[in-house]
Every structure is written in structure tokens, then in C-alpha cells.
Structure 1
């Protein structure tokens, strides 16, 4: 993604204080999340402008992939375009919502977010078998790192019906299924730890 690409953001000052705690993992209904974001005034900004500007939170749909039959979660080593996260394990997949997602959406913020998440998932997996089910769980935030300071995570649980047919892409380095009960033993990035709290 180029630094000139327009990404979906929300002004920090317009968000509830509870969303901006040093470590936040808040379960809430999707309708409430969308109400808050709509009221806060979402906008598109050049990624290069907001990557180091804490006045804005870039909105990141963050899907945690699960095999619901065996209570296993997909886990991988970070190796993608965000070099600040390399070397850490993650159970979350996702990325920025871009202006082009809005052009593909039918109407409303929920449709824009859905288009952005579907695009990201199609980029992350070489094969993503259907059907799969996405369920919104809540928001995560951390203010302890340069990455966290400028991003806000919207956590989705993604249940896949045929996990054996799923094929990770090149950026999902060492992808493996691990028991959900044991995922916390891995050296996970903070966002993944927060996401597991509200899964």
C-alpha cells in the first residue's frame, strides 16, 4: 500500500474515552460501534499523513480465524508490509479500509467495512473456502506502541467450515492451527492478546 493511498480514519478526540485506554478490549454490539464511528465523523486521509499523526485513528477490521469444530485458531508469524510488527505472532488478519472500498460498497459504513475486510482476506489467503461466517465482537486499542497509537481495531470472529481446504498466502508465514486454549502461550502481538479477550 502506498503512502498516498486514502485510508479510512476517525478523529481521536471524537471517540469515547473508554475506547482510548492504554489497553482496551471492549465487547459491544456492531450497531453501537457503527453509531459511534458515524457520529465521530469518519474521513479518508493519505496514509502517509496519518501514520505518525495520533490525532487520527486508522480503522482496521481485524478478523480472528477459527475452526469452530475443534476450537482451534489460526496463528502465524508477521511478515507483511508493516515492518514494525515483524517477528511477532498473530491470530488477527486485516488491514486498512481504503477509498476504493467505499466505491464497491452498496451503502453505509457497515458495507464499506465489509468490502474492506473481504478485500483484505482475499489478499491474505491463496484459497479461502466458503462458506465462512463473520461475527463482530468489539473494539481493541493500545497506546503503548507507535503502531497502536494511530490504529483502532474492529474485531471479527471468522468461523470457517472447511479449515483443511484453507491455504494461507505468502505473508501468513508459518500459518498453523493451535488450540484456542493454548494460543496465549505464543509470543503474540498485543492486538492479538486483546482480541482473544473478547472473542
Structure 2
């Protein structure tokens, strides 16, 4: 039952993402930055996979599969809604988007699914490592926003989400401290991963 729920959760996340993008944005830069982080950020979808697998009664490979289904569902839900509600064309070129993010989902889904389950039900030593992954993806997203896109407010919001996740989800100050160290390590790895995502998407969209 957990796997179908993971897929449905992903479909809902994808649809919600498009819905947030369609909302009229207030002419307030801070609000724009928060909405951009929620509706145009791979970190937000990764967070959804993490939370879903923390809530669902899954462990190990089942958690990895559930995380993958969340991200594949989000990919499918988002692009299905663009076709149904925005009347986007269904063509070979249009399918490059879901294909690119589907490839990313196959890599990120197992990682964040397993991390969510580990944070909730894993051994005490591993919980900060899992939580650090969540913090790391947001900090890496912030660095991408700042260095590549020059989006300073979005970078600040992403850092706030990453730090907030570690502080709020850590059970003790010791765990928060170890999760902070893990966040630094994961940030480096996630920056490399984001570089890989850029290469994959460029290869699919631009044929490079």
C-alpha cells in the first residue's frame, strides 16, 4: 500500500507545483523568493520525497522505491497538468522535459527516500547523516541560485530552509550538531550532483 501512496503523493506534488507557478505573485521580492524556492526548485521535490518516506512505513529498498515513485509521480503530475490545463503540445520535443527529470528522479528518488526513512526509523548514528542530506540539497540549491543565476533572495530562502530543516528536525542538540557537519559534506556532493543534472538536462534539451 505504501508504494501506491508514494506515487499519488508525487502526482499531487507535481500538480501543486504547477498550481503555485500559476498563482499571481505579489510584488514583494521576499514573497517571490519563497514561492520560487517552492515551485521552481529541485530541492523542494527532494524534500517531498524525504517527508513522504519519513511518514510512510517503509525501510531500506522499500523506502528507496517509494522515494523514486514520489519523484516520478511529481514529474508525471507536473507535465500532465501542463498538457491538461495549459494545453502544452505533446510532441517529441515536449517530452524532453519529463524525460530529463525522470532520469534525475531515478537517481535522487532512492537517495532521499532512504534518507527520509532513516531519519525517522534508522539507527541514532545514521539519523544526522540522513538529515544532513536534506540540509545539503537546500544549501547546494542556494549556491546554484547565487553563483550561477545571481538570485540572491532565492539563495537566502534556500539556506533558511536548509538550516531550518536541521534545527527543527534534529531531536537533540548533539544530533543537530552532527547533522550540521553532515550538511557541509552533503553540500559539496550535492553541488557536484547539480552539475551533473545541468549536464544531463543540457544533453537532452540542447543535444550537447
Larger radius of gyration: 2
Q: Comparing both structures, which one devotes a greater share of its residues to strand?
A: 1
Q: Identify the TM-score tier after normalising by the shorter chain.
A: under 0.3
Q: Identify the structure with bigger relative contact order (alpha carbons < 8 Å, sequence gap 6+).
A: 1
Q: Comparing both structures, which one devotes a greater share of its residues to helix?
A: 2
TM-score where L is the length of structure 2? 0.24
TM-score where L is the length of structure 1? 0.24
